[in-house]
Amino acid sequence: MSRTFILAAAVLGALGVALGAFGAHGLGALLEAHNRTATFDTATQYQLIHALALLAAAWLAERDPGRWVRWAGILFIAGVILFSGSLYILSILDLRIMGAVAPLGGTALILGWACLGCAAWSSKR
């Protein structure tokens, strides 16, 4: 599981940097026209932060594997896809319905952090 999480973190991290650069340099006018520059920046920021959180879950999965760590990683991946993905779509396409998807992703991210806490609490180390 840790290898999967590391690979996913690498993909999310690389895409986060690439999308951040593309948003700043290639989409600037479009994002400003939709008044969504801050929304796009938030999506990028959360994606990069949770790529690092996924690395932490991978490290914990190696050190003390268990269901809480596994769920944390799964929820971080799902949360980034739902939260950041919906904000990217909202920013670029101005598809307002995606604003209703973002809280689902945010909930997944919060639950991922809670699962990391549960993993620490139940750790035998």
Number of Cα atoms under 13 Å in the Cβ half of residue 76:
31
Spatial distance between the Cα atoms of 118 and 95, rounded to a whole number of angstroms: 36
Reported confidence tier of residue 125, pLDDT bands at 50, 70, 90: low
For residues 54 and 5, is the Cβ–Cβ distance under 8 A? Answer: yes
Domain ranges of the chain: 2-122
Q: Which of 102, 122, 109 is nearest to 53 (CA)?
A: 109
Residues 44 and 16: beta-carbon distance below 8 Å: yes
Model confidence over 11-60: pLDDT tens digits? 999 999 999 999 999 998 999 999 999 999 999 999 999 999 999 999 99
pLDDT of 66 over the 90 cut: no
